[in-house]
Amino acid sequence: MDIHKLEIFIDLSETLNYTETAERQFTTQGNISKQIIALEKEVGAPLFERAHRQISLNPLGELLLPHAQEIVMQYQQMQQHLSEQLSQDSLVLMMLTIPTMANYYGFELITKFLKRHPEVDVQLKEGEGNALLPFLKGGQNHVIFARTFSRTMAECEMLLTEEDRFVAVLPKHHPLANEKKIALADLGMEQFVALEEDTLIYQPMVDLCHEAGFDPQISFRSARIDLLLNMIERELGVSLLMEKSIDKYWVDRVAIVPITPTKKSYLSFIRTKNSHSLASQLLWQYIKEEVN
């Protein structure tokens, strides 16, 4: 039985809310639903009561929960002991980051840290939303730089470096391109181009459109922001993106307009709350000094 499915089951049994669990697990509501359905297929029966958009554990789910918690706890202890044996006092730091890290202050912090501590070997890789949180379980020397829509996470330590917000991205000759701020509802009839559903931006973007009173008509999805911006420049749609994720190259090629309502996101370095390697401790101490 997949440990990750059990972790999602335990989380959902606490929140009883797909949206909250998706945010806590750095994934999408759709992926949470798929994982729970897959677990129920393995068990051979439903684990939750589902009625009127609300869920609760059924008797079988309540029976499974303490066993799942014990299995996950033992697995985490095993991982921690192996990690301690393999990387105690290691100066290798494994870091997974969102693809647009270079646009944020976090990237500057990492480059300065490497100059301050050349003895630390930082292995930096890009990853999408679904891969970020599971990466932290890889060991004491694992850290992520990620976007969240909450300032805190119960199971992790976070060092906030900056905030960002949704903005409208329009073709230069769009009728609303020169406005200082627009009501999001004014884009209700537009064709949208959007990031893929498995990114952490997609569902908050859709939710924001719902808050403004419409379902976005999405004609194209991509994992690449530059491709979306190319399409917008060619007047093939509009989008809602995080303002700082847009490279300066595009400032004169598309219109970037504040919207109301909008939604903030938070850019942070994140690690688990268990013991940490020397490299992780050095990074944490340095970032604290810089951002406080």
DSSP state of 45: S
Give the per-residue pLDDT at 85.
65
Mean pLDDT over 212-223 rounds to 96
Model confidence at 259, pLDDT cuts 50, 70, 90, reads very high
Ranges of CATH 3.40.190.10 domains, the chain: 87-162+267-291, 163-265
Q: How far apart are CA 172 and CA 20, in angstroms?
A: 37
Please, which pLDDT band fits residue 87 given cuts at 50, 70 and 90?
low
Classified as helix, coil or strand, 238 is strand
Provide mean pLDDT across the span 271-276: 88
Average pLDDT score over residue span 277-289: 93
Which residues neighbour 111 within 8 Å (Cβ) at sequence distance 6 or greater?
A: none
pLDDT at residue number 171: 98
What CATH number does the domain located at 3-85 have? 1.10.10.10
Average pLDDT, the chain: 92
- In the three-class reduction of DSSP (H, G, I as helix; E, B as strand; rest coil), residue 259 is classed as strand
pLDDT of residue 6: 95
Q: Is 164 helix (H, G, I), strand (E, B) or coil?
A: strand
Pairing assessment for the beta strands 217-222 and 191-195 based on DSSP bridges: parallel
Is the per-residue pLDDT at 252 higher than 60? yes
The fraction of the chain above a pLDDT of 90, given in percent, is 78
Q: What is the CA radius of gyration of the chain?
A: 21
State pLDDT tens for residues 120-159. 989 999 987 777 888 988 888 999 999 999 998 888 999 9
pLDDT at 88 over 70: no
Topology (CATH level 3) of domain 163-265: D-Maltodextrin-Binding Protein; domain 2 (3.40.190)
Check pLDDT > 60 for residue 89.
Answer: no
Q: Give span(s): CATH 1.10.10.10, the chain.
A: 3-85
Alpha-carbon span 2 to 220, nearest angstrom: 33
Lowest-confidence region among 89-98, 104-113, 118-127, 224-233 = 89-98
- Compute the distance between CA of residue 201 and CA of residue 151 in angstroms, rounded to an integer: 16
Q: Give CA separation, 210 vs 19, 24, 261, in Å.
A: 14, 22, 11
CA–CA separation, 254 and 224 (whole Å): 16
CATH number belonging to domain 87-162+267-291: 3.40.190.10
- What is the model's pLDDT at position 146? 93
CA distances 280 to 34, 239, 275, Å, are 33, 37, 10
Residue 152 exposed, middle or buried by CB count within 10 Å (0-12, 13-18, 19+): exposed
Question: Tens digit of pLDDT for each residue in 7-44?
Answer: 999 999 999 999 999 998 888 999 999 999 999 999 99
Q: 86: pLDDT confidence band, cut at 50, 70 and 90?
A: low
